[in-house]
Structure 1
Amino acid sequence: MSEAPQATVLAGPTSVGKSTLSKHIRTHYPQVHFSVSATTRPPRAGEVDGEDYRFISPAEFDELIAADSFLEWATVHGRHRYGTLQSTVEQAVAAGKRVLLEIDLQGARQVRSRLPGAHFVFLAPPSFDDLVSRLAGRGTEDEEERQRRLETARIELAAESEFDVTIVNDDIDRAARELISRMGLDPEIDV
């Protein structure tokens, strides 16, 4: 890679471990700036507003859409909306920070058109069976929601070729080191 990207988009199918990988990077690589997405869904147990997501009302989300404040936004799994505020990303990039956006496939496609210099990383499971096990093991969705997410995952997996590179999430430490390296940072340095 010639010049390290200022913004890296991390996307992949549901339950592949995007949030787990992001939390690992937050802990071990504080030099990476995370763009915290806004969402209309309620927080899950242990999630912190402003750290995991910005939890906002549907009316607030509508206002941000009307003001063209999002770099990307989407309705995910047919239920809740998620979005990345453009000002947050622009400010971090202008400050020379390496920014990581953890978003879904729809959002990644929007970012590609609005932030052409970004690097796109697809996080893949070792296998589809592994993905099914991870989703069931989370215990955060009922059977109907799990089936909806698996249908979405099949579509998301088919889009892998749209990304610059694929990282298989078979080991969190290894996947984090590979992602950090692709962001142009030294994966052996915890700062």
Structure 2
Amino acid sequence: MTNRRGLLIILSSPSGAGKSTLTKRLREWDPSIRFSVSATTRKPRPGEEDGKDYHFMSAEDFKRDVAEGDMLEHAEVFGNFYGSPRKPVEAAIDAGEDVLFDIDWQGAAQIRNSVLAPYTLSVFLLPPSITELHRRLVSRGQDSEEVIAGRMKKSWDEISRWDSYDHVLINDDLDQTDRDLKTIVAATRMRRIQQPMLTDHVRQLEAEYKELNL
């Protein structure tokens, strides 16, 4: 058995709050942190590999796994189902590996109600202001005004769920937020529940204490 259990790390934010950049930095800091591979019922696109990009499943198999509790979270998007298979994540956590989830508040809520909730760390990123969030979306130069307005509406829905997360960071200074996020991950790895070897160690201390007859 490894010296610690892995973490199920949830990182959520509205679009434009810096999640992609911070995720990249987190994985550069510790390359052993890996993304969860989602399952989906949509057809593979050219170049996509089963088990690498997605676990491609039939709708019948997906619904069966949901009914049997084998999906940590799931949702229907444009007629296709998407979800996070429980067993690979459970195996990773037992092996001391951290698994990163880039999901919204609905998926996060489902995971917090799953069997892996005790090993979950959830972090929400807030923008410094709505004006700055809007500026970031506009500065990308990728979307029309209509699309940006839709993203802003969805962003506010996400922001309104901030208080259901373990930790909340205001990303007004990227470097500081990066340091704070790494500190949170490092500290959470040391939670008592993440260290299954502690029980045996305390038993050894107890045996030693009795043997010394102090």
Q: TM-score, normalised by structure 2?
A: 0.67
1:104 paired residue number: 104
Q: Distance in 1 between matches of 2:123 and 2:55?
A: 27
1:124–1:141 Cα change, 3 Å: same
RMSD: 3.4
Shift of 1:138: 2.7
Shift of 1:49: 5.3
Q: Distance in 2 between matches of 1:79 and 1:65?
A: 13
Question: Pick from 64, 67, 85: which aligns with 2:65?
Answer: 67
Q: Distance in 2 between matches of 1:140 and 1:38?
A: 28
User: Does 1:10 find its partner at 2:11?
Assistant: yes
Question: Pick from 156, 159, 167: which aligns with 2:158?
Answer: 156
Shift of 1:137: 2.4
1:33 paired residue number: 34
2:53 paired residue number: 54
1:56–1:183 Cα change, 3 Å: same
1:137–1:81 Cα change, 3 Å: farther
Provide, for residues 23-50 of structure 1, a one-character-per-residue CA deviation record: whole Å limited to 9, x for no partner: 222223213232244566999xxxx957
Shift of 1:81: 5.9
Structure 1 unaligned spans of 5+:
187-191
SS of residue matched to 1:122: strand
Q: Distance in 1 between matches of 2:176 and 2:98?
A: 19
Q: Report sequence identity in percent.
A: 34
Give, as a single letter, the amino acid of the residue that structure 2 aligns with 1:54. Answer: D
Greater shift, 94-103 or 80-89, is seen at 80-89
Q: Distance in 2 between matches of 1:38 and 1:29?
A: 25
Q: TM-score, normalised by structure 1?
A: 0.73
1:174 paired residue number: 176
Give, as a single letter, the amino acid of the residue that structure 1 aligns with 2:124. Answer: F
Provide, for residues 154-174 of structure 1, a one-character-per-residue CA deviation record: whole Å limited to 9, x for no partner: 111111111121112233332
1:97–1:120 Cα change, 3 Å: same
Structure 2 unaligned spans of 5+:
189-214
Shift of 1:106: 0.9
1:189 paired residue number: none
Q: Distance in 2 between matches of 1:75 and 1:96?
A: 31
Provide, for residues 92-143 of structure 1, a one-character-per-residue CA deviation record: whole Å limited to 9, x for no partner: 1011122222211111111111132112211111111111122222334333
Q: Contact 1:124–1:167 (CA<8 Å) still a contact in 2? A: yes
Give, as a single letter, the amino acid of the residue that structure 1 aligns with 2:159. Answer: L
Larger helix percent: 2
Give, as a single letter, the amino acid of the residue that structure 2 aligns with 1:147. Answer: A
